[in-house]
Amino acid sequence: MVHTSKVCKLGHQSLSHDNNLWSHSSKVFTSLYEDHRDNIAFSWTLLLSTNFSMASDSSTNNEIVWTEASVIDIKTFDCIKLLRLKVADKSLTFKPGQWVDFLIPNVSPFTGYSMTSPPSLLASSGVLDLAVKYSDYPPTLWVHEKCKMGDKVQIKVAGGFFYTPPSPSSPGELERDDMLLLAAGIGISPIYCILQHYLERDHRGGKVALLYSCKSPAEMVFKDEILEIARHHDFFTPKLYSSKDSVDEKDKKNIKEGRITESEIQEALSSLNQASAQVYICGPPAFLDKMETFCLSSGLPKDRIYYENW
């Protein structure tokens, strides 16, 4: 399959990536690529479209469907806005780890934000949650400075980074589902979605380790929720890292100072079934590169390491 181009998001900018970067992604998400081939190759004229509920892909002439969503809750957590959207299209679904392209009327270009809530919440209540870290990129600035309850945006599910349960090694035999989750900064968003989805499914006695690094404890959105999950589930072990700011005495039992090291990756992997454990990574590009290198040198095969370049 030839991947010619991919629209990538960097939190603060959208740009077209070339073939090299796309193939740099550890996994070629064939089925999703098929599903979203039209989305990936969409025409940039879409950005200028005023009636953006439907647009036409210039290469295939297939329709690309956007759906309307209303902002029904806004919370602020440090430099992050937490949005809850009510989605108009009841048939909309997504895979844990995916994002939505997010188009604001009269604000261009659009950008993407990952779902932090699990797919089950959308199925049961028609809502999804996003976390948007502050930047001066126009759509993100709109979220932080202008967005109010009742505002309407257009969204479209996208992205090739999503959780896939391990496939059986032999017919009739299902692998234990072990995962190492590596998150940095606002990269926790899709990882938290994956974690919640995992809690809802049969993981066949699998274990999950999460290593989550932020510059400061103040930026650790979902910290309390993550620690609460760990209190209720023995199979889940989170480790939190503050890489820049020092940690208050009261938080030292939960948060370590410094960055995630290779030996900590090795330690986390040693608690998992290394024959089948999968690794999901999200964060800044330098973090992705470093974590992948650590995982590879710890003996994990490349085809079980998943991340996506924005």
Ligand X SMILES: Cc1cc2nc3c(=O)[nH]c(=O)nc-3n(C[C@H](O)[C@H](O)[C@H](O)COP(=O)(O)OP(=O)(O)OC[C@H]3O[C@@H](n4cnc5c(N)ncnc54)[C@H](O)[C@@H]3O)c2cc1C
Tally Cβ neighbours within 10 Å of residue 26.
20
- Cβ nearer to ligand X, comparing 6 with 290: 290
- Cβ nearer to ligand X, comparing 166 with 217: 217
* Identity of the amino acid at 201: R
Q: How far is CA 281 from the centre of its chain?
A: 9
Q: Does 26 participate in binding ligand X (rule CB under 6 A)? A: no
Q: How far is CA 158 from the centre of its chain?
A: 11
Total chain residues near ligand X (CB under 6 A): 28
Tell me the window of 24-32, 63-71, 118-126, 212-220 that interacts with ligand X (CB under 6 A).
Answer: 212-220
The H or E element spanning position 9 is strand 6-9
Determine the Cα–Cα distance for residues 294 and 85; give it in Å rounded to an integer.
37
Taking Cα atoms as reference points, which of 26, 21, 2, 1 lies closest to residue 10? 21
Distances (CA, A) of 153 to 41, 68, 180: 22, 6, 34
Nearest residue relative to ligand X (C-beta): 185
Strand order in the sheet with 99-104: 107-114, 99-104, 152-158, 67-77, 80-87, 127-133
Q: Does 133 participate in binding ligand X (rule CB under 6 A)? A: yes
Q: Does 132 participate in binding ligand X (rule CB under 6 A)? A: yes
Give me the sign of the Cα torsion angle 155, 92, 15, 289. positive
Site track for ligand X across 137-176, x = CB under 6 A: ------------------------x---------------
Instruction: Give strand pairing partners of 43.
Output: none
Residues 28-57 that bind ligand X (CB under 6 A): none
Q: Answer for the pair 162, 97: CB distance below 8 angstroms, yes or no.
A: yes
Report residue 259: phi and psi, to 5°: -90, 165
One residue of 7, 85, 147, 186 binding ligand X per CB under 6 A: 186
- Cβ nearer to ligand X, comparing 66 with 212: 212
Instruction: Give strand pairing partners of 100.
Output: 113, 157
What is Dmax (Cα atoms) for the chain?
A: 60
Residues 99-118 that bind ligand X (CB under 6 A): 99, 113-114
- Cβ nearer to ligand X, comparing 138 with 233: 138
Q: Does 24 participate in binding ligand X (rule CB under 6 A)? A: no
- Cβ nearer to ligand X, comparing 10 with 47: 10
One residue of 32, 40, 131, 272 binding ligand X per CB under 6 A: 131
Residues 232-291 that bind ligand X (CB under 6 A): 243, 259, 282-284, 286-287, 290
CB 36 to ligand X: min, Å: 14
CB 155 to ligand X: min, Å: 12
One residue of 184, 194, 247, 269 binding ligand X per CB under 6 A: 184
- Cβ nearer to ligand X, comparing 109 with 283: 283
Here the tokens at position 111 are: 């950008």
CB 194 to ligand X: min, Å: 11
Exposure string over 211-226, b if 16+ CB within 10 A, otherwise e: bbbbeebebbbbbeeb
Q: List contacts with ligand X (CB under 6 A).
A: 10-11, 99, 113-114, 131-133, 161, 184-187, 189-190, 213-215, 243, 259, 282-284, 286-287, 290, 308, 310
